[in-house]
Amino acid sequence: MSQHVGSRKTYNECFECARQRTAVAWYDFIKYTQLNAKESMDYLEWINFDQFDLIENINKRGAFSSIYSAVWMEGPKWNLDEEAELWTRTGPIKVILKRLDNSQNMDHEFINQIRFFSGFVIDNRL
């Protein structure tokens, strides 16, 4: 990641999409979940929006979000290829997407809450 200094905050450029102003907290958090995962489903990964198809607003709202259904075309890495010793993707799978209201204004407290929740997932406490 290359660093970019904004007027009031420091932002970074995402090495995947080269997008400016990507919050370093997101990158660090995703990396943290990947390095600490104990099972194949215990981590987060960045998924480009173009990997989703058949996106449909299901007309439900969360407290701070809109909820959609979609098909993730590549799917998660749930299958172990024992011969190659690699996790492989499942292929298309139906998923739920949440569009967070005011997501451009998320602060470190929001990231810390997600980090706290992910600790329960990683430690199998859910």
Higher pLDDT, 57 or 42: 57
Q: Are residues 37 and 67 in the same domain?
A: no
Q: Are residues 98 and 53 in the same domain?
A: yes
Is residue 55 domain-resident?
Answer: yes
The sign of the CA dihedral 101, 105, 110, 111 is positive
Q: pTM here?
A: 0.62
40 has pLDDT over 90: no
**Residue range 14-21: mean pLDDT, rounded:** 56
Q: Are residues 27 and 2 in the same domain?
A: yes
Number of domains the chain is built from: 2
- DSSP, collapsed to helix, strand or coil, labels residue 30 as helix
pLDDT given at position 5: 36
pLDDT given at position 69: 93
pLDDT given at position 71: 96
pLDDT given at position 92: 95
Phi, psi for 35 (deg, rounded to 5): -75, -25
Is residue 71 domain-resident?
Answer: yes
- Most confidently predicted of 17-21, 103-107, 108-112: 108-112
Q: Are residues 85 and 58 in the same domain?
A: yes
Q: Are residues 63 and 26 in the same domain?
A: no
Q: Band the pLDDT of 72: cuts 50, 70, 90.
A: very high
44, 86, 38, 15 alpha-carbon torsion, rounded to 10°: -30
Is residue 14 domain-resident?
Answer: yes
Q: Which range of residues forms the domain containing residue 92?
A: 47-103
Q: Are residues 34 and 52 in the same domain?
A: no
Q: Are residues 61 and 88 in the same domain?
A: yes
Q: Are residues 33 and 15 in the same domain?
A: yes
